[in-house]
Amino acid sequence: MQNLLALTLADETPAARQGEGPTFHWKWSWRGLLELIPFETSERSLVLSAGIHGNETAPVEIVDLLLKALFTGDISLRCRVLVVLGNPPALAQNKRYLESDINRMFGGRGAQFPQGDETARALQLENSVREFFATAGPDRWHLDLHTAIRASYHVRFGVMPQRNQPWDESFLGWLGDAGLEALVFHQSPGGTFTHFTCENFGALACTLELGKALPFGQNDLSRFTPTHLALRALLSGNKPEHYSGTVERYRVVQQITRRSEAFQLHMAAHTLNFTPFRHGVVLAQDGDERYEVQKTTEYVLFPNPSVAFGLRAGLMLEKLT
């Protein structure tokens, strides 16, 4: 089953649906879903997901390398893992999604979208995670690997879901050691995969944004070496090497939402993530609705004027001291 990616892209069922690797039992449960349970008892359970957006291929290639290392014995598994390749049909076509964005559907929000394969897939992923965490201890992680549509002042950064409890500083430290240059903290619930696992299962969850979306084979994975090495260490039960870079922290202060055809985003098409805007600048308009910078300085994240009606066309952040 080290060829999970090839099987997933080809929509093929493996000859055997379960078996043993060098240090673990494995079970193929559905297209793009593989559970690995180490022979040694482990307190940690990790959901490692990629490909929720089908054109974000670098993380999928990293997961593929990790699986190959596990099945050849190059990595000895020391934690329970559920590997998720999120949207296989979109991955096969190198498209962000085919009908609707799965990463807006979790936690019952799929009912707001036209029903189809992607809404069904979101429910399938919810059920798979629920089953995986049903036998897990309290040490639960979810790392959802993505790439951004746009280039960014921070090449690698993490987006943290809204959480009622304080974040575990050792988890945030691990994210820094994984090479993330910035962390963005949501202040309100959302339909993302990480918010679903954080809210429902108490998982320490983060969406890792690694570089820019490119087709398979065009990614320079050396840009993500700290993340790759940190994931290898995590799977083997070790601490990653300390990454000496500074980790900036931001929090979301407003969301720009596209509601109609009249929507206009007043940003250049080449605007980078984390571009700063000063107080009073008009960011977007949608009919009579205006979005302006409220703080002294706000930084834009994920600006996208072409999203479907009712979805976010950008987030505005403030930097935390």
Q: List, by residue number, the catalytic residues.
A: 209
DSSP bridge partners of 249? 183, 320
**Residue 146 known to bind ligand:** yes
Pairwise CA distance, residues 208 & 229, whole Å: 14
Q: Give the distance, in angstroms, between the CA of residue 217 and the centroid of all CA atoms in the same chain.
A: 20
- Number of Cα atoms under 13 Å in the Cβ half of residue 164: 4
61 known ligand binder? no
Residue 270 is labelled as binding a ligand: no
Binding site: residue ranges?
53, 56, 146
Bind-site residues for Zn(2+): 53, 56, 146
